[in-house]
């Protein structure tokens, strides 16, 4: 009985740690998604068929400038941080 109680307590503690770790990971994912969405909103640029080539070039230059002003850090294809 004592062995089972000890094992039960150990498993309970392990479960707490895993739950805490999972919650922490979910927070990181949520924050990263928020940053990505905010980052992508900067590029809500639509090209109209009737626009002049000069207008389209201006929009592309605006996007290029925003990309240079923003920083996106990658680590093995995983986004570490997005600074806006």
Rounded Cα gap, residues 18 and 26, in angstroms: 12
Bridge partners of 75? 78
Helix (H, G, I), strand (E, B) or coil at 53: helix
Domain boundaries, the chain: 2-83
Note whether 42 and 70 are within 8 A (CB): yes
82 versus 32: the higher-pLDDT residue is 32
Lookup: tokens for 15: 């479960």
Q: What is the pLDDT of residues 7-33, one digit of tens each?
A: 888 889 888 888 888 888 888 878 877
37-54: pLDDT as tens digits: 776 676 666 667 777 888
Cα separation, 84 vs 70, in Å, equals: 5
Predicted TM-score of the model (pTM) = 0.41
The secondary structure of residue 47, as a DSSP letter, is -
């Amino acid at each position: 009985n004592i062995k089972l109680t000890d094992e039960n307590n150990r498993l309970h503690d392990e479960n707490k740690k895993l739950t805490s770790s999972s919650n922490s990971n979910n927070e990181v994912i949520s924050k990263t998604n928020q940053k990505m969405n905010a980052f992508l909103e900067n590029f809500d640029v639509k090209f109209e068929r009737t626009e002049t080539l000069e207008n389209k070039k201006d929009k592309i230059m605006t996007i290029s400038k925003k990309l240079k002003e923003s920083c996106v850090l990658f680590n093995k294809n995983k986004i570490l941080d997005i600074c806006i």
